[in-house]
Amino acid sequence: MINGTRRTARLALLAALFLAAGGWTPAFADNLTPDSPYSQPGQTATDQSGTPSGSQKATQADMDKFNSEFHNSFQNLIPDAPPPGYTTMMGKWVTTMYGFVQVDSVYDSSNSYNNWPFNAAPANSAVVASGGDGPTVDSSRFGMDVNNSRIGFALSSPVYNGYKIRALLEMDFLASPGESLDGSGLGYVTNPIFRIRHFFFDVTTPSWGNVLVGQYWSLFGEQPYNIQNNLQIAPGPGTAYGRFPQIRWYKNLHLSDSGVMLEPAAAVMTPPTTTGGIPAFTEALKLSDSNLMTELMIGDTGKGQFPASLSISGIEQNYSGYIAGNPTNPTNPTIGANYNNTKNTGFNSWTAAGAVDLILPIIPIHDDKPGNNLTLQAEYTWGQGDAWQFPNLSFGLGGTTVNTLGGQGFAGNGVIMNNQFLPLDIQTYNADLQYYFPDDARTSVVVGFAVDNASNLQQISGALGGFGAGVPASGGGSSNGLYSYLQPDTHLTFAYVDLWHDFTPAVRAGLEFGQYDAVYTGGANALDNRVMMSWFYLF
């Protein structure tokens, strides 16, 4: 075991030295691809100096891009004409194709996950159901995939009577379960299914803002600006993240001629459950200053120059339906009885949550040239029943804890007991520090952490008499499908350190060491140490 640990450490060290010592290439600007919407004058594919041309000056329209929820989006630049050095596709309107090829390799010290943990907790033999799962979950694993590779098409039509219409179609290969051709269960990795990420159109009006219709980022958490810079296939834990069908309004308000702007936004969004009869509502207010710019990477490919910003957002959702009765536990029938539910009884409950997000340049960009920049990125959320805004955040709870008639989407957001929906009190918070070296920001290091917490889950578990005695009454299963939890987790922490290097404007690599640490209602603790390395070809 010690020798295996040493070998892992040596491999990680060699990979880090390889990244840091990558062959020197001519200086280039990192704002050349559609995932980097802040290309400055002079930073083009034909002029890679990264120095703005003295004869060109940013217009007010350029300044708008620094703050618009739409134009500023990760991987969502929609130009009115091909940028210098780009070509356009044949079509009725201006059509630009973009995307990236991503290859991931992952080592986990436990068998808690597949390649994509999201917000699931690590486990060990003390917290999973018996039947041979213990030795499996306590062993290490290695995996590879290309599923997060992405392709998108940005469309822009001419102005018509003062109205400008743009659209975005973006897909990846993370659909579940994937096609299995050999019966080995590798279909998710080797034969993945194409999946919609963004499908929407956006209308810019002459005076009263923009209207966006289709599937896009949730406003909660001012996504995508809140996405931490790490290698976890987005998102890592504790980060609001999700794309939903919606109708949104937003508008840029210039507070001064110096670049300070306020952006209010509101949206009507699909409800959190399949049986929901009322949409969810989100709203946000963002203050930003494009005079205080910094280099920043959103996720693992959204690299560019971003303004200092502070935003607050909220979400309100309704949970309603009919109760199927009490869950059953063959080894401890009293647990189910403690839910005190009556079959076919209806329930209706509103919950709400809030979020604060910050991008703070500690060492900002000077003279529009990236490098030697330090940035703090942080988020805090609080509220009830908002787990659906965090992928795979169930706290180890499953369908038996809600036991509704035909309902999907309740688990993790709360439990149904005493004929009522009792939401979980959820808090998440995360922060990372990103430093870009003075080599035109080709190399960067990141240190960060993120936390999921359900502050009333321990109390709920106590009232129900625990969640299992050999049988997982909570009904929750692991992200890799290998086992079921005996008890839910109340607290999950993910801490990590990353090293990034851009070998060319199109080739990027990242190396990460991270640790998942979970606390369960029964007092058990479980850890997973993860080493991950990814390569990207951006086009």
Q: What totals of helices (H) and strands (E) does the chain contain, helices first?
A: 6, 20
Give backbone dihedrals phi and psi of 340, rounded to 5 degrees, phi first.
Answer: 55, 40
- The alpha carbon of 312 is separated from its chain's Cα centroid by a whole number of angstroms, namely 18
Task: Determine the pLDDT at residue 83.
Answer: 57
Compute the distance between CA of residue 426 and CA of residue 302 in angstroms, rounded to an integer.
28
Task: Determine the pLDDT at residue 221.
Answer: 95
Inter-CA distances, 509 with 27, 301, 307, Å: 17, 10, 25
Contact 347, 402 (CB under 8 A): no
Task: Determine the pLDDT at residue 130.
Answer: 56
Going from the first residue of the chain to its last (539 residues), give the mean pLDDT of each consecutive group of 10, the final group possibly shorter.
45 44 32 30 28 36 38 44 62 84 95 86 81 69 92 88 91 73 60 89 91 95 92 86 95 85 95 89 95 92 91 96 78 73 90 97 90 96 96 82 70 88 95 94 96 93 64 60 80 96 94 96 92 94
Task: Determine the pLDDT at residue 179.
Answer: 53
Task: Determine the pLDDT at residue 488.
Answer: 86
> Which single residue is written with the structure tokens 């106590």?
462
Task: Determine the pLDDT at residue 182.
Answer: 45
Closest to 532 in 3D by CA, of 128, 184, 192, 148: 148
| CA-CA-CA-CA dihedral for 44, 50, 51, 55, to nearest 10 | 10
Looking at 334-396, which runs of residues are DSSP E strands? 346-363, 373-384
Q: Among positive and negative, which fits the CA dihedral 171, 79, 300, 283? A: negative
| pTM of the predicted model as reported, rounded to 2 decimal places | 0.83
What H or E segment, with its residue span, contains residue 94?
strand 94-108
Inter-CA distances, 184 with 116, 180, 189, 190, 191, Å: 19, 7, 11, 11, 12
What letter does residue 399 receive in the DSSP assignment?
A: G
Give backbone dihedrals phi and psi of 284, rounded to 5 degrees, phi first.
Answer: -155, 155
Compute the distance between CA of residue 449 and CA of residue 495 in angstroms, rounded to an integer.
4
For residue 530, the tally of other CB atoms under 10 A from its CB is 23
Closest to 445 in 3D by CA, of 457, 458, 455, 436: 436
Compute the distance between CA of residue 423 and CA of residue 444 in angstroms, rounded to an integer.
40
Looking at 157-279, which runs of residues are DSSP E strands? 164-172, 195-204, 210-217, 243-250, 253-254, 260-269
Task: Determine the pLDDT at residue 465.
Answer: 67
Task: Determine the pLDDT at residue 31.
Answer: 27
Task: Determine the pLDDT at residue 404.
Answer: 73
HEC string of 295-328 equals: EEEECCCEEEEEEEEEEEEEEEEEEEEEECCCCC
**Conformational region of residue 231, where left means phi above 0, alpha means psi within -120 to 50, and beta covers everything else:** alpha
Inter-CA distances, 405 with 30, 344, 345, 399, 524, Å: 52, 8, 10, 11, 33
Compute the distance between CA of residue 73 and CA of residue 307 in angstroms, rounded to an integer.
13
HEC string of 488-536 equals: CEEEEEEEEEEEEEECCCCEEEEEEEEEEEEEECCCCEEEEEEEEEEEE
**What class, spelled out in words, does domain 72-325+346-538 have in CATH?**
mainly beta
What letter does residue 137 receive in the DSSP assignment?
A: H
Closest to 129 in 3D by CA, of 504, 512, 477: 477
